[in-house]
Amino acid sequence: MKHLTITELNNCKRNARESLGRIEGKKVLVIGDVGLDEYLMGDVRRISPEAPVPVVEVRSREYRLGLAANVAQNIHSLGGVGFMVGVVGADSAAKDLAALLKKNGVSDQQLIVDNSRPTTHKVRLMSGQHHVVRFDFEETKFLTQALESTVVDKFHSLVSSCEGVILQDYGKGVLSEDLCQTLIRLTHDQKKKIVIDPHRTTPIRYYRNADLIKPNRDEAYLLSGLNLDSLREHKNSLLDVARAIREQTAAANLIITQGKDGVSIFSGNDEPSHVSTDEREVFDVTGAGDTYLATFCLAWFSGLAIETAAVMANAAAGVVVGKIGSVPCSRDELLTALEI
């Protein structure tokens, strides 16, 4: 695998900075599982007399966009336009999610209500930078055929005005095999690219024929279907994993993200390449994958080379890991992060 040299990385950074204007106003359609993130912030000063657990004195409450909604939010914060198609329940969390989308520049008109499920809602209790506990309110199940048809209708109403499509799979049930394959086919009918952020529990066949699949390293090993014990025995195992995924999905491109160790790119018949990241202080990795995906897709859909798009996305993800919680990267922050 070819590792980009410092000179090559700096050239990519320079190209990314000079090309930021190309992503301005670009429209991207995001389809997938959406959620509301709630943060309860407080201090721990004592142990409960009722049980050996910390007592958190809550000082503030904050709502943030979660799951695929965070991808759409990041697209907007970078100067693009993100259209979000997702499914919510008929509850207060859905109202809070819709209001937060509008507040962050993303239309809430493409949210679809499913009366049989709650809106995915994660509540994190925080003391300083530390998670004390998390509560998840959700129900994982596939959509009815009628609701899937509504998703397709929403897709048809938006796709012609967009540069490309993102399918964000968090395994909550919005993206079935039939729906994934329908959306991939319809995107290609429009002569546009579709990128998939997979989930580790979803069968890899769901993602057949996507233009690019972006798992993290752990997801890639699981999705490959290879024997994990044997893979650990040799250093070139990532190449075997990538080959297996591409063979099973016929994906033209594959990016495997590896946190602070950078990303590996498998594109067409080119030699695989590895893009390293700059060292940064990490406070919280929540949402970093969403930021990476949003930034990469905006750049790639706008015509930037895949390695340049990957370097731009690395820089944006590096910004958000220095923040607490799921917080987007702004265009100005990205400019600073791309400085040589």
Give me the active site residues, please. 290
Angle at 261 between CA 292 and CA 75, to 5 degrees: 5
CA proximity to 175, closest of 130, 205, 218, 136: 205
Under 8 Å CB-to-CB from 221, ≥6 apart: which residues? 228, 231, 237, 241
- Interatomic CA distance for residues 124 and 135, integer angstroms: 6
Q: Residue 309 carries which side chain, given as an amino acid letter?
A: A
Quote the tokens at residue 153: 């209708």
Name the DSSP letter for residue 269. T
- Residues 6+ positions from 204 with CB-CB distance below 8 Å: 198, 223, 224, 225, 245, 248, 249
CA distance linking residue 272 with residue 278, whole number of Å: 20
Centroid of chain to Cα 70: 8
